[in-house]
Structure 1
Amino acid sequence: MIASIFRKFLDYKFKEIDLFIQKPYLTQEKILRYLLESGRNTLIGQQFDFSSIKSKDDFRKNVPIFHYEDLRPYLDKIIVDKQQNILWNKPVQWFAMSSGTTEDKSKYIPVTKESLTQGHYRCGEQMLSIYARSNPDTKFFLGKTLVLGGSKQINNIGDGIFTGDISAILIKNLYFWAKLSRTPESISLMPDWETKLQALTDYAVKKDVRAFMGVPSWLLVLLKKIKAETGKELTDLWPNLEVFFHGGVSFTPFEEQYRKIIAKQSMNYWETYNASEGFFGVQLSKESKDMLLMLDSNIYYEFIPITEVDSANPQTLTLEEVETGENYAIVISTNGGLWRYMIGDTIEFTSTYPFLFKITGRTKNFINAFGEEIIIDNAERALAEACALTGAVISEYTAAPVYFGDNSAGAHEWLIEFEVEPDSMDSFARALDDGLKKVNSDYEAKRSYNLSLMAPQVYSLPKGSFYEWLKSINKAGGQNKIPRLSNNRDYVERLITFLKDNK
Structure 2
Amino acid sequence: MISLKSALAKPFAKRVYKSIQKWANNPIETQEKVFQDLIATATKTVFGQDHDFVSINNHADFVKRVPVRDYEGLKSYVERMVAGEPDILWEGKPIYFAKTSGTTSGSKYIPITKASMPTHVEAARNAILMYIKETGNAKFVNGKMIFLQGSPILKEQNGIQLGRLSGIVAHYVPKYLQKNRLPSWETNCIDDWETKVDAIVEETLPENMTVISGIPSWVQMYFEKLITKTGKPVGEVFKNFNLFIFGGVNYEPYRAKFEKLIGRKVDSIELYPASEGFFAFQDKQNEKGMLLQLNSGIFYEFIKADEFFTENSERITIKDVVIGVNYVMLISTNAGLWAYNIGDTVQFTSTKPYRVIVSGRIKHFISAFGEHVIGKEVEQAMQDAISGTNIQVSEFTVAPQINPNEGLPYHEWFVEFENEPDNLSELAKKIDESLQKQNTYYFDLIQGNVLQTLKITPVKKGGFQAYMKSIGKLGGQNKLPRLANDRKIVDQFPQTS
TM-score (norm 1): 0.94
Whether contact under 8 Å (2:72, 2:105) holds in the other structure is no
- Which residue identity is paired with 1:15? K
Counterparts of 1:204 and 1:240, CA distance in 2: 13
Counterpart secondary structure, 2:421: coil
1:96/1:164 contact within 8 Å kept: yes
Aligned CA distance change for structure 1 residues 34 and 449 (closer, same or farther; 3 Å): closer
Report the Cα distance in structure 2 between the residues aligned to 1:94 and 1:191, rounded to whole angstroms: 20
8 A Cα contact 1:146 1:212, kept in partner: yes
Report Cα offsets for 1:93-120 as digits up to 9, x if no partner: 322233476x692322111232120x21
Question: Do the aligned residues in 1 keep the contact of 2:410 with 2:451 (CA within 8 Å)?
Answer: yes
| Partners of 1:163 and 1:178 in 2: CA distance | 24
Deviations along 1:356-404, whole A, 9 cap, x unmatched?
2221111011100101111111101111122226532111111111114
Worse overlay, 384-393 or 137-146:
384-393
Separation of aligned partners in 2, 1:241 and 1:194: 23
Report the Cα offset of residue 72 of structure 1. Answer: 0.9
Count of matched residue pairs: 493
Cα distance, 1:342 vs structure 2 = 0.8
CA deviations on 1:292-344 (whole Å, 9 max, x unpaired) are 11111111111111122113443211111111121111000111111110111
AA at the equivalent of 1:53: I
1:33 corresponds to which letter in structure 2? Q
* Residue correspondence of structure 1 range 387-398 to structure 2 within 5 A: 387-388=386-387, 391-398=390-397
Q: What is the letter of the counterpart of residue 349 of structure 2?
A: T
CA shift digits 1:118-170 (9 cap, x unpaired): x211111221121112211331111111110025x644252222322211111
In the alignment, is residue 371 of structure 1 matched against residue 370 of structure 2? yes
Q: Aligned partners of 1:72 and 1:436: how far apart in 2?
A: 38
Per-residue deviation, 1:355: 0.8
Instruction: Tell me the secondary structure at the aligned position of residue 98 of structure 1.
Output: strand
CA distance in 1, matches of 2:45, 2:490: 43
Give the equivalent residue in structure 1 for 2:114: 113
The equivalent of 1:90 in structure 2 is 92
Change (3 A) 1:390 1:22: closer
| Alignment correspondent of 1:491 | 489
Query: In structure 2, what is the Cα distance between the partners aligned to 1:174 and 1:91?
Result: 23
Judge conservation of contact 1:327–1:347 (CA < 8 Å) in 2: yes
Preserved contact between residue 102 and residue 108 of structure 2 (Cα < 8 Å): no
State the one-letter code of the partner of 1:473: I
- Residue 242 of structure 1 is matched in structure 2 by 242
Amino acid in the other structure paired with 1:93:
I
- State the 1:423 CA deviation: 3.0
User: Aligned equivalents of 2:236 and 2:403: distance in 1?
Assistant: 54
In the alignment, structure 2 segments of 5+ residues that lack a partner are none
How far apart are residue 285 of structure 1 and its match? Answer: 1.5
CA distance in 2, matches of 1:90, 1:217: 38
Structure 2 counterpart of 1:422 = 421
Counting aligned pairs with the same residue, the percent is 36
Task: Give the aligned partner of residue 462 of structure 1.
Answer: 460
In structure 2, give the amino acid aligned to 1:462: K
DSSP-derived class of the 2:157 partner: coil
Letter in 1 for 2:454: P
Name whichever of 176-185 and 418-427 sits farther off.
176-185
For the residues of structure 1 that align with 2:201 and 2:274, how far apart are their CA atoms?
A: 26
Superposed displacement of residue 5, structure 1: 2.1
Q: How do 1:68-467 and structure 2 match up within 5 A?
A: 68-79=71-82, 81-99=83-101, 105-117=106-118, 119-151=119-151, 154-183=153-182, 184-265=184-265, 267-388=266-387, 391-404=390-403, 408-450=407-449, 452-467=450-465
CA contact (8 A) 2:9 2:138 kept: no
* Alpha-carbon distance, 1:483 to partner: 0.9
**What is the distance in 2 between the residues matched to 1:64 and 1:146?**
41
Structure 1 residues 348 and 390: CA distance shift in structure 2, 3 A: same
Query: How far apart, in 2, do the equivalents of 1:70 and 1:29 lie?
Result: 25
The equivalent residue for 2:469 is 471
Which deviates the most, 417-426 or 437-446?
417-426
TM superposition outliers: structure 1 runs of 4+ over 6 Å: none
In structure 2, the CA distance between the partners of 1:100 and 1:397, relative to structure 1 (3 Å rule), is farther
Q: Per-residue deviation at 1:405?
A: 5.9
- The RMSD of aligned alpha carbons is 1.9
Aligned in 2, Cα 1:45/1:178: closer, same or farther, shift over 3 Å? farther
- Tell me the SS of whatever aligns to 2:97: strand
Contact 2:127 2:269 in 1 (8 A): no
Distance 1:9 1:334 in 2: 28
For 1:35, the equivalent position in structure 2 comes to 38
State how far apart, in whole Å, the 2-side matches of 1:91 and 1:42 are: 11
CA distance in 2, matches of 1:241, 1:233: 12
2:12 and 2:56 map into 1 onto residues whose CA distance is: 38
Counterpart contact for 2:146–2:213, Cα < 8 Å: yes
The 5-angstrom pairing of residues 17-56 of structure 1 reads 17-56=20-59
* Cα contact 2:271–2:280 (8 A) shared by 1: yes
* SS of residue matched to 2:109: strand
Q: How far apart, CA to CA, are the structure 2 residues paired with 1:155 and 1:121? A: 18
User: Residues 477 and 185 of structure 1: is their aligned pair in 2 closer, same or farther, counting only changes over 3 Å?
Assistant: same
Residue range with higher mean Cα deviation, 82-91 or 186-195 = 186-195
Deviation at 1:408, TM superposition (A): 4.2
Letter in 1 for 2:107: S
Contact 2:281 2:291 in 1 (8 A): yes
| Contact 1:66/1:341 (<8 A) preserved | yes
Please give the alpha-carbon distance, in whole angstroms, between the structure 1 residues aligned to 2:440 and 2:288: 25
After TM superposition, give the deviation of residue 62 of structure 1 in Å: 1.4
Q: In structure 1, what is the Cα distance between the partners aligned to 2:259 and 2:166?
A: 25
